[in-house]
């Protein structure tokens, strides 16, 4: 790491921001919970590589590339509109439009965060800001303390939203910026929704640092599917937090595809708090040049008869780095747990790196758990077999890389999204 | 067609082929037999271009070209086909995508027009029939979950599709029951014509009852120690390899 970790982050900036936000807020400043985050980070600085959770990701180095200027996040004013598709646009960190079809609008509410909190204080009180406080992630608490910008998504009880809801996040700022969004997702009883988020940059502007958080609560027998494509430009750095709280029989399905950006840290904190809840997490990182992507996963089995399944894959080329750190925690009373974890990496060059840390922490005695990790090159026998059939080496490599990624791509259920991801993978491998 | 002169090849510093000579002409079928470790599979791998094998001496020319200078895919383009002893399973690469890529790349190399989707499907259907291959297999990933017999049949199927001028069958009979053996041999016999040639590597005479060779060579300690017609195979079957070893000492 050529840049020394010398420059401390100006946390005062965040506190100035915080005071600014409070001055603007017309409501009781989301009270005790925010204050707890605030207290937690007040005396801390950003983690360094001595912190086990950040061992392979020199976050201070990335932060030191920025010279953040304080600015106060404006509270968005956009009104939800009817449209022929479900689409939310976020530009330069601000929500610029919320469109829902008539069909969807009767089942789901998508509101600017503050409005949602104002409208449903009792739901927020009852369900949110719990899981975040079980973790001590510095950046999650920064987000929680200072961010009032984001979405409040509420799928009403017994409502199945058939059409996916798309979130398109775009950045075209000219200046160096620090963006935060904070989304709350509440999936009601017997309800279901499919959220697809695409992150991109259309402008060729200044460096951007995102610190994004989604806190999802899935009530009894609810189903939440969240697919995300990270395809931002080379000057994008981001930390993303995904917290989920699953109640009895709830189902969570997460697919994360990381293709673009300079640096991405994806944190997943999933609590299986109700019996027979089920979480499936899939991650695919395709990295080249000096890209760095770090997936950090913690799944907590707090109830019996739950199932979780993690599959994270990466392909690292050039001088890129992938990191996976996953932990399955099974509480003492969470009997009959099924928990699986797998991390597979293909390292294409001598200068690319892949770090993997699969972990189990089990206190129950009647469980089925597995974890495994493999890292290696493309299989020479497979390569030779293809070449012996007349397929050029580069083409053969492409076929094998695609094959490696395919089981994560093929199971994306939205055809448009799947084709977009396929196209991106193709072009990424063509340039490789 | 194929001319191998004084071929020496080693793997991981160990010399396996120690001065092998072989001439194959169009229209011929050559059988190569020999005990375990005599270098049969090494010969197949060297001809197909497997990089772990190092050629330390000798020449291999194919239709006038120096074969040893060519990459494996170029050799395939030139018309060499290796039917693998252990066909590789490639999960995630669909059979159809694999076959299409192979056919189009080889056509490109041979300066033939690309096939459109319909013509390609027609070709696949026709060749599938030829080797009596279950059409369901082409809906799967390459060799994934295929039985031993299905894998070998898939090799002959690919051979039919790519229309090589020289096919090397590396112990294609190993692990096959009689019915599968007959189907594989029938496929080869149907593909056989005066313009192409086969090198059949085998332990046993059994396969040669179905694919009748013009020449039989016995490989021992990296060299061909004896050549003859198909009666040599019968002789080997009867007497084993021991007497040959003694005779060569």
Name the residue ranges covered by the structural domains of chain A.
11-274, 378-432
Q: What is the mean pLDDT of chain A?
A: 87
Closest CA to B50 of B25, B26, B68, B35: B68
Residue A10 has pLDDT above 60, yes or no: no
Give me the pLDDT at residue A131, please. Answer: 86
Dihedral-angle region of residue A253 (phi above 0 means left; psi in -120 to 50 means alpha; beta otherwise): beta
Closest CA to A223 of A247, A255, A196, A239: A247
Q: Which range among A116-125, A145-154, A306-315, B194-203 shows the weakest confidence by mean pLDDT?
A: A145-154
Give all strands of the β-sheet with B223-228 in edge-to-edge order. B80-83, B166-170, B197-201, B29-33, B215-220, B223-228
Q: Which residues of B touch A390 (CB under 8 A)?
A: 73, 76-77, 102, 105-106, 109, 162
- In Å, how far are A285, A431, A432, B121, B171 from A424, measured between CA atoms? 12, 11, 12, 28, 42
Please give the Cα distance from A39 to B159 (Å, whole number). Answer: 71
Reported as a single tens digit per residue, the pLDDT across A144-203 is 877 778 899 999 999 999 999 999 998 876 677 778 889 999 999 999 999 999 998 876
- Residue A63's pLDDT band (boundaries 50, 70, 90)? confident
Q: Is A394 at the interface with chain B, CB within 8 A?
A: no
Cα of A179 to nearest chain B Cα, Å: 38
Q: Which residues contact A304 (CB under 8 A, 6 or more apart)?
A: A275, A333, A334, A335, A336, A337, A364
Q: Which residues of A touch B82 (CB under 8 A)?
A: 388
Higher pLDDT: B3 or B245? It is B3
Give me the pLDDT at residue B179, please. Answer: 82
Chain B residue with minimum CA distance to A405: B92
Chain B residue with minimum CA distance to A379: B90
Q: Which residues of A touch B92 (CB under 8 A)?
A: 400, 402-404, 406-407
Residue B80 has pLDDT above 90, yes or no: yes
- In this prediction, residues A389-418 reach a mean pLDDT of 92
Q: Is B162 at the interface with chain A, CB within 8 A?
A: yes
In eight-state DSSP terms, residue A64 is T
Q: Which residues pair with A231 in a beta bridge?
A: A200
In B115-173, beta strands by DSSP E: 141-142, 166-170
Cα of A15 to nearest chain B Cα, Å: 50
Check if the beta carbon of residue B236 is closer than 8 Å to that of residue B51: no
Burial environment of residue B173 by CB neighbours within 10 A (0 to 12, 13 to 18, 19 or more): buried
Cα of A396 to nearest chain B Cα, Å: 9
Cα of A406 to nearest chain B Cα, Å: 6
ipTM of model: 0.95
Check if the beta carbon of residue A309 is closer than 8 Å to that of residue A337: no
Q: Which residues contact B116 (CB under 8 A, 6 or more apart)?
A: none
Cα of A394 to nearest chain B Cα, Å: 11
- Measured over the CA atoms of residue A148, residue A253, residue A85 and residue A121, the dihedral's sign is negative
Reported as a single tens digit per residue, the pLDDT across B123-182 is 999 999 888 888 888 889 999 999 888 899 999 999 999 999 999 999 888 878 888 888
Give me the pLDDT at residue A429, please. Answer: 74
Give me the pLDDT at residue A209, please. Answer: 87
Please give the Cα distance from A390 to B127 (Å, whole number). Answer: 18
- Residue A6's pLDDT band (boundaries 50, 70, 90)? very low
Q: Is B165 at the interface with chain A, CB within 8 A?
A: no
Check if the beta carbon of residue A237 is closer than 8 Å to that of residue A167: no
Give me the pLDDT at residue A41, please. Answer: 75
- In this prediction, residues B107-114 reach a mean pLDDT of 95
Give me the pLDDT at residue A411, please. Answer: 87
Asked if A382's CB is within 8 angstroms of B71's CB, the reply is: no
Tokens of B213: 């060779």
Please give the Cα distance from B151 to B131 (Å, whole number). Answer: 12
- The phi, psi pair for B176, rounded to 5°, reads -105, 140
Residue entry with tokens 């001028």 = B165
Cα of A380 to nearest chain B Cα, Å: 10
Q: Is A386 at the interface with chain B, CB within 8 A?
A: yes
Residue A314 has pLDDT above 50, yes or no: yes
Asked if A395's CB is within 8 angstroms of B72's CB, the reply is: no
- In Å, how far are A343, A355, B128, B232 from B119, measured between CA atoms? 41, 47, 14, 44
Reported as a single tens digit per residue, the pLDDT across A15-50 is 555 555 555 554 454 566 677 777 777 777 788 888
- Measured over the CA atoms of residue A115, residue A116, residue A122 and residue A125, the dihedral's sign is negative
Asked if A402's CB is within 8 angstroms of B72's CB, the reply is: no
Instruction: List the single residue in A385, A389, A403 with the smallest CB-CB distance to B92.
Output: A403
Give me the pLDDT at residue A1, please. Answer: 29
Q: What angle do CA A56, A58, A62 make, to 5 degrees?
A: 140
Please give the Cα distance from A242 to A218 (Å, whole number). Answer: 13
What is the model's pTM? 0.86
Question: Burial code of A204-222, b = ≥16 C-beta within 10 A, e = fewer?
Answer: ebebbbbbbbbbbbbbbbb
Check if the beta carbon of residue A301 is closer than 8 Å to that of residue A335: no
Q: What angle do CA B145, A253, A270 make, to 5 degrees?
A: 120
Q: Which residues contact B109 (CB under 8 A, 6 or more apart)?
A: A390, B73, B74, B76, B77, B78
Give me the pLDDT at residue A205, please. Answer: 67
Asked if A403's CB is within 8 angstroms of B141's CB, the reply is: yes
- In Å, how far are A32, A276, A285, A312, A400 from A257, measured between CA atoms? 35, 27, 6, 10, 18
Q: Is B105 at the interface with chain A, CB within 8 A?
A: yes
Asked if A388's CB is within 8 angstroms of B101's CB, the reply is: no
């Amino acid at each position: 790491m050529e840049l020394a970790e010398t420059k401390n982050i100006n946390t005062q900036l965040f506190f100035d921001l915080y005071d600014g936000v409070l001055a603007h807020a017309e409501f009781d400043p989301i009270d005790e919970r925010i204050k707890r985050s605030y207290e937690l980070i007040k005396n801390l600085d950003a983690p360094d590589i001595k912190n086990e959770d950040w061992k392979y990701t020199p976050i201070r180095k990335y932060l030191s590339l920025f010279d953040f200027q304080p600015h106060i996040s404006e509270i968005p004013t956009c009104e939800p509109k009817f449209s022929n598709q479900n689409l939310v646009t976020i530009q330069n960190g601000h929500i610029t439009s919320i469109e829902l079809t008539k069909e969807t609008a009767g089942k789901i509410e998508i509101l600017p965060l503050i409005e949602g909190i104002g409208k449903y204080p009792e739901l927020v009180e009852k369900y949110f800001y719990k899981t975040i406080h079980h973790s001590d992630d510095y950046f999650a608490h920064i987000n929680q303390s200072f961010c009032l910008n984001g979405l409040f998504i509420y799928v009403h009880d017994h409502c199945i939203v058939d059409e996916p809801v798309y979130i398109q996040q775009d950045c075209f700022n000219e200046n160096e910026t620090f963006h935060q969004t904070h989304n709350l997702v509440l999936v009601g009883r017997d309800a279901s929704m499919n959220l697809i988020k695409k992150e991109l940059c259309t402008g060729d502007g200044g460096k951007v640092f995102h610190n994004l958080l989604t806190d999802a609560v899935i009530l009894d027998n609810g189903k939440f599917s969240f697919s995300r494509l990270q395809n931002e430009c080379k000057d994008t750095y981001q930390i993303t937090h995904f917290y989920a709280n699953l109640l009895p029989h709830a189902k969570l399905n997460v697919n994360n595809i990381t293709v673009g950006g300079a640096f991405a840290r994806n944190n997943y904190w999933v609590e299986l708090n109700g019996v027979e809840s089920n979480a499936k997490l899939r991650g695919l990182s395709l990295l080249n040049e000096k890209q760095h992507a770090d997936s950090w996963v913690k799944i907590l089995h707090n109830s019996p008869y739950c199932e979780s399944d993690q599959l994270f894959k990466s392909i690292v080329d050039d001088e890129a780095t992938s990191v996976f750190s996953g932990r399955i925690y099974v509480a003492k009373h969470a009997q009959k747990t099924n928990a699986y974890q797998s991390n597979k990496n293909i390292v294409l060059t001598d200068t690319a790196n892949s770090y993997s840390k699969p972990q189990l922490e089990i206190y129950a005695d009647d469980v089925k758990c597995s974890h495994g990790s493999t890292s290696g090159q493309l299989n020479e026998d497979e390569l030779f077999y293809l070449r012996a059939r007349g397929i050029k080496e580069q083409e053969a490599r492409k076929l094998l890389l695609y094959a490696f990624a395919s089981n994560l791509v093929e199971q994306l259920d939205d055809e448009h999204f799947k084709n977009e991801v396929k196209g991106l993978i193709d072009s990424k491998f063509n340039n490789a | 067609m194929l001319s191998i002169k004084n071929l020496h090849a080693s793997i991981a510093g160990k010399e396996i082929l120690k001065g092998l000579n072989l001439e194959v002409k169009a229209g011929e079928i050559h059988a190569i037999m020999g005990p375990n470790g005599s270098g049969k599979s090494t010969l197949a791998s060297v001809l197909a271009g497997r990089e772990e094998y190092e050629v330390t001496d000798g020449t291999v020319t194919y239709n006038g070209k120096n074969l040893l200078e060519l990459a494996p895919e170029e050799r395939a383009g030139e018309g060499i086909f290796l039917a693998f002893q252990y066909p590789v399973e490639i999960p995630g690469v669909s059979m159809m995508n694999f076959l299409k890529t192979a056919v189009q790349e080889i056509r490109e190399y041979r300066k033939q027009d690309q096939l459109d989707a319909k013509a390609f499907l027609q070709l696949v259907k026709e060749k599938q029939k030829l080797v009596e291959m279950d059409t369901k297999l082409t809906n799967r990933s390459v060799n994934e979950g295929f039985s031993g017999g299905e894998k070998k049949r898939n090799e002959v199927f690919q051979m039919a599709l790519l229309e090589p001028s020289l096919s090397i069958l590396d112990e294609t009979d190993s692990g096959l029951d009689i019915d599968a053996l007959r189907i594989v041999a029938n496929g080869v016999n149907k593909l056989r014509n005066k313009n192409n040639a086969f090198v059949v590597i085998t332990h046993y005479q059994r396969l040669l009852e179905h694919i009748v060779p013009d020449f039989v060579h016995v490989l021992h300690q990296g060299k061909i120690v004896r050549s003859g017609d198909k009666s040599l195979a019968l002789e080997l079957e009867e007497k084993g390899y021991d007497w040959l070893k003694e005779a060569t000492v």
